[in-house]
Structure formats: structure tokens, C-alpha cells
Structure 1
Amino acid sequence: MPTQPTLDAAKRLGPSVHRSTDSGEAEHGSRPRRRRKFGHERRRAALLLLAPSVIHLVWWIGIPVVATFFLAFTDYDVLANTVAFNGLDNFQEIFSDPTWNASIWHTVVFTFFTVPVAMAIAVVLALLLNVKMRGSAWYRAAVFMPHVTATVAIALVWMWMFEPRLGVVNTMLGWVGIDGPVWLADPDWALTAVIIVSIWKGIGIKMLIYLAALQAMPEDVYEAARIDGASQVRQFFSITLPLLKPATFFVLVVSIIDSFQAFDQLYVLTPDGGPDNSTTVMTYEIYRTAFKEFNMGAACAQSVVLFVFLLVLMLISRRLTGKEDDVR
């Protein structure tokens, strides 16, 4: 049985023990509130930081895309500022236009020759520049330089190079006994000249992406292949190409989008769609329909067709280069 001093001490300590217990519970209860407040402040700060990008995305991309799809089914008079729904009349109009149908074919040909050729050359250059050698940084910068050079400046230089009498291209062809054509003024060769310029200009960025992918590859895989006696060619097809699949998918998608949206180099090299509309592509025809003929409804319908083309090509390229799990 406790003694009287012990009972007196317990009575004296009791209120303080209760106060400490209550303060501990209050402290533990305030921590979740502080965490919730801190989390709310972080979310608010994140929303404030994202707000300019979201506003820019909605205002300059989201609203124009929605407006394009809406106006594609209307007769929009820009000068009178009137809109009248006309169903599929704009699509019937553009597909009955031989110039628009020719522009689709020119865009497909331009993409078909520009993208795979530039990608193949970029892979070869990346393999060559991935080797440790003296001055490799200068070679990489030289290959990448056309990508960061102004398109108008590149087009003007190539216009001089394609000059039929004094141009570098025909002069070099004359050395081997070939009479060069009138490149940019010949309907049979104008698109070929534009394709050559586009391939040369687009190699740099593709090479840089492939070079980064090559430098990230594990070296132990190649060491194991060399121990097994695999040749350089076998290593390239069995190791390098499969490991380049994610980079190939990215380069392919970006290149197709860039080719279907090509405008500036064609506009400078071959104004007004080239001789006999031989270099008229979909983007230039959209520009001409909208800002020269002021037929905004038809131009929006052409833009929708271009979007569908890109969407289908993206799905095909994804199927060709592998599923999403393989790309990661």
C-alpha cells in the first residue's frame, strides 16, 4: 500500500502529467494540419507556375484547333465576317480540285524520299562521329550547322548552287560529262532539287539524336559480342539497330511531321508552287487557299485532311518501329 508521501507526490504530479499529455496530443494533431497546409501551398505554387504555359497552350493551340475543325464545315467569309454551316461542301470542293490532289501527291513523294534517306545518312554519320578521333567535335558541329542556319539563307545559297550555267552542281556534273538540268525552273527536276536541300538541312539534328543514343549504349554488351566472335557488321545489325529503336521511333515521328509541314524552303526555292505547280505541297496550298483566295472554310478543311494524314502516318510508324513498351 503506497505511503502518504507517495500519494501526495502523485497528486502534485497529476495535473502536470495531464497537461503534458494534452500538449502532446495537440502537437500531433497540428502536424497533419501543417502538412496539409504545406501541400496546399505547393499545389498552389505549381498551378501558378504552370498557368502561363497552360494559357499559352489553350489560347494559341487549343482554341485554333477547335476553330479549325468547326470552320471546316462552314462557309466563312473573312471580309464580311459571316459564318454559314455547309456540311461537307468544303471537302467536296478541295478533293475536286486537281491542284490540291497534286499537292497531296507531292507531299507524299517529298516525305517518302526525304525522311528515310536523311535517317540512313544520319545513322552512318553518327557511327563515324562516335569514334574517338582528333577534331571530332568540329566535325559534329559542321554536320549540325545547317539545322541552326536560317532557312532563307540556306535556300539562297542553294539557288546559286542550282544555277544552270554557273552553279556548282551543274559544273560538277559537267566534269563527268553530264549536262545538268535547269533544276528549279524545270517541272521534272524542281521537286528533286527541293528534296536534296531538305535532306541536307535535316541530317544534323537526326545525327545528333542518333549520336546521343549511341553514346548511351552499354559497352558490356559489345564486349560480350566480341568475345563470342561477332563481327562489326553482326554487332551493328544484332545490337546497335535494336538498341536504336527508341531513337528511330522519335526521329521518324518528328521527321514525318516536319516533312508534312515543310513550307519555308519550298516557298523561297520555288515561289508560287514551282513551275506548273510541280512543288506545290499541302502546306503551301493551305496558305494559298487561306491568304490569297480568302477561302477560309476550304483552307480549314485542307488542314483537317493534313491532320488526318499525320495521325495515320504516326500510327503506321508506331506499328513499324515497335509498340509503346518497346520504345520506353
Structure 2
Amino acid sequence: MTTSTTSVTPAAELLPLGPDGGRRARAGTGADLHRSQRRAGWVLLAPGLLHMLVFVAAPMLMIVGFSFFRYGFLQSPSWAGLDNYRTLWHDDRFHTALWNTIVYTVVVVPVGMGLALLIALALNERIAARGFFRTVYYLPHMTATVAVAVVWLWVLDPDLGVFNQFLALFGVGRINWLGSPDWALPSVMMLGVWQGLGSKMVIYLAALQTVPPELKEAAQLDGANRWQVFRNVTWPSISSGNLFVLITSVIFSFQVFEQVYVMTAGGPINSTLVLTYDIYKNAFYRLKFGYACAETVVFLALIGLVTALVMRLNQGARRD
């Protein structure tokens, strides 16, 4: 009996051979695949890039250009050069808005980050109804800021507000939270801290999931207590998440607007006037479009400067 043997020809041998014995054909196929994947990537990125170009980059360039002109709603543009920036330098309203924005940021960012980290550490443990509490803390972030500000108008009402009724149980007198220059900005700060807890908490929870449990166990076996484990293991391990929370918190704090617009309109006596609200008033109430553009350029430059400073300090801390 004769047994026939059937040989299978590899697929690569079916390709047309070039001078190098077919290797050029395989290389060419790989290069074509790489080019097609790169084209597909650009096609998928195109909508986002187009959006950034049309609605972010182009308006920013237009704002920079308009900041050198003097014009209003019914006024034809006229060249102003650096006059808008010189006026801004001596504008007391701008100084007040800048100071209030800095104070708001300096208070809201560290307080919000500290509370969010404490909540994340608590909700990272195995406790009852952990998912429920995570949802509850995140809900304010999902709610429209205008709606939240309207609710807080009732909470901070000097006569019927929940805060004053609660404080009255301890003998504290009536406080005009939003009508007093001393209490208006702290009241807006409370809302900013409360609404920002959810987003910061989620980021911290994600960062805590990356902490190697074996490092914690090793530290505990060496006799480290909870604080020592957090300081020497957990805190260094979440440094990237902490930097992200810090930078985004600073940017969002500088951009505070809705709370001020709904709750105080910059008052009383400009005690809650912030940069974004002052830009809004200059553009749409005083109709000083060129001047508002100059203030916007300074505002964006401040955000970029603060962000760069935070990243530089973080790099220096890592080297140390």
C-alpha cells in the first residue's frame, strides 16, 4: 500500500517574490497596515481636533487680537494698542476681582482636596453600603451648578435657612450669609467645596486602587501604624492622582462663575466679585468688548502660570 503525503504551502510563499526572496513583500504588507492604521487614527481624531480648532483655538486667538482694539456693541473697532492692558493695571475692580479669586482658590482647593481624600480613604475600606455612599457623595457633581446654587440660596436664607435654624440650636444669632460682606465669600466657598467633593473623591478612589497591598502589609508587619502606613506608603503611591486633582481644582476654582452669578451677583460691595464675573460684566453690561478680551487674556495667562508653577514645584518635590 502506498501512502501519499500532501504538503501545505505556507501563505507567505504564495506572495510574489521580490529580489530579496519575498521579504520585501512581507515588509511592504506590514508598512501598508501601519499606514492604514495611522489613517484610521487620524479619521477618529478628526472630529475632536476640529472641535478644538473651531471652538477653542480660534476663539482664543481672536480674543488675543481683539484685546488690542477699543470697541463696543455699536462702536466700530479702533486700534488701542496696549491701552486696555494699561487701564486694567490701574482698575480697582480688576484688583478686587483678582484678590477674591485668589482667596477663593487658596481656601477651596486645599480644603476640598483634604475632605475628598478623607472621604475616599473611608469609602475605600470594606464598609456597609459603600456603593450607596459613593453615589451620594458624587451626586452634587452631576447636578447643574445653577440648580445647586438656587437650593443653597434657600439653605443660606437669613430667616428661613437651614443653616441659621441649626445654629440657633446652639445659641448662635441670625447671620446674613449672602448679604454681609464678611460672610458672602465664605458662603460661596462652602458651596464650591461641597460641590467639588464628588469629582475629587472619585479620582482619589481610583488612585487608591493602585496602591500595592503588599507594601501596606509589609509596613504593618514592621510595626507601622495607620498614619505611618498612609504617610510612607499610600501618599507617595497616589502622587500622580494628587497632582491631577490639584491642577484641575486650581483651574476650576479660577473659573468660578455660576455660584457668584446666581447667589450674589458679585456683591455685596464687590465682596464676591471674581475674574470671570467681572469679564462677563465688562463684556455684556458695560459693552467694553476689547477691554473684556484683555482681561480674559490676563486671566488665561494667570491660569497657565499657576499650572506651570504647580508642576514645577511637584517636579522639585519628586527630586528631593
Match of 1:288 in 2: 281
Counterparts of 2:40 and 2:118 in 1: how far apart (Å)? 47
Whichever of the two has the greater Rg, that structure is: 1
Contact 1:248 1:321 in 2 (8 A): no
2:18 to 25, 34, 40: 25
Is 2:106 aligned against 1:141?
A: no
Counterparts of 1:40 and 1:304 in 2: how far apart (Å)? 40
1:51 to 33, 37, 46: 46
**Corresponding residue SS for 1:58:** helix
Counterparts of 1:229 and 1:34 in 2: how far apart (Å)? 60
Alpha-carbon deviations, 1:142-187, whole Å to 9, x = none? 1111100121221111111111112110111111111131111112
Q: CA deviation at 1:89?
A: 0.4
**Corresponding residue SS for 1:201:** helix
Alpha-carbon deviations, 1:202-224, whole Å to 9, x = none? 11111111111112110111111
Change (3 A) 1:59 1:118: same
Change (3 A) 1:216 1:39: closer
Is 2:212 aligned against 1:196?
A: no
TM-score normalised to structure 1 length? 0.87
Counterparts of 1:238 and 1:180 in 2: how far apart (Å)? 46
Match of 2:298 in 1: 305
Match of 1:16 in 2: none
Counterparts of 2:128 and 2:64 in 1: how far apart (Å)? 54
Counterparts of 2:50 and 2:31 in 1: how far apart (Å)? 28
Q: CA deviation at 1:121?
A: 0.5
Is 2:304 aligned against 1:314?
A: no
Is 2:35 aligned against 1:40?
A: yes
Contact 2:16 2:25 in 1 (8 A): no
Counterparts of 1:74 and 1:146 in 2: how far apart (Å)? 41
Is 2:215 aligned against 1:239?
A: no
Q: CA deviation at 1:31?
A: 4.0
Match of 1:4 in 2: none
Match of 2:10 in 1: none
Match of 2:7 in 1: none
TM-score normalised to structure 2 length? 0.89
Counterparts of 2:66 and 2:54 in 1: how far apart (Å)? 17
Is 2:65 aligned against 1:70?
A: yes
Amino acid of the structure 2 residue aligned with 1:101? H
Q: CA deviation at 1:70?
A: 1.5
Amino acid of the structure 2 residue aligned with 1:218? P
Match of 2:145 in 1: 151
Contact 1:161 1:169 in 2 (8 A): yes
Q: Which moved more, 1:310-319 or 1:196-205?
A: 310-319
Match of 1:10 in 2: none
Q: CA RMSD in A?
A: 2.1
Match of 1:209 in 2: 203
Amino acid of the structure 1 residue aligned with 2:48? S
Contact 2:112 2:194 in 1 (8 A): yes
Q: Which moved more, 1:130-139 or 1:84-93?
A: 84-93
Change (3 A) 1:232 1:325: closer
Is 2:160 aligned against 1:166?
A: yes
Q: Which moved more, 1:311-320 or 1:136-145?
A: 311-320
2:271 to 268, 272, 278: 278
**Corresponding residue SS for 2:71:** strand
Counterparts of 1:123 and 1:24 in 2: how far apart (Å)? 63
Match of 2:74 in 1: 79
Q: CA deviation at 1:246?
A: 1.0
Contact 1:286 1:302 in 2 (8 A): yes
Q: Which moved more, 1:98-107 or 1:29-38?
A: 29-38
Match of 1:11 in 2: none
2:55 to 53, 60, 71: 60
**How many pairs align?**
304
Q: CA deviation at 1:36?
A: 4.0
Contact 1:72 1:90 in 2 (8 A): yes
Q: CA deviation at 1:298?
A: 0.8
Q: Which moved more, 1:22-31 or 1:295-304?
A: 22-31
Percent of aligned positions that are identical:
38
Comparing both structures, which one devotes a greater share of its residues to helix?
1
Change (3 A) 1:23 1:138: closer
2:113 to 115, 119, 124: 119
Counterparts of 1:219 and 1:232 in 2: how far apart (Å)? 14
Q: CA deviation at 1:40?
A: 3.5
Counterparts of 1:265 and 1:201 in 2: how far apart (Å)? 11
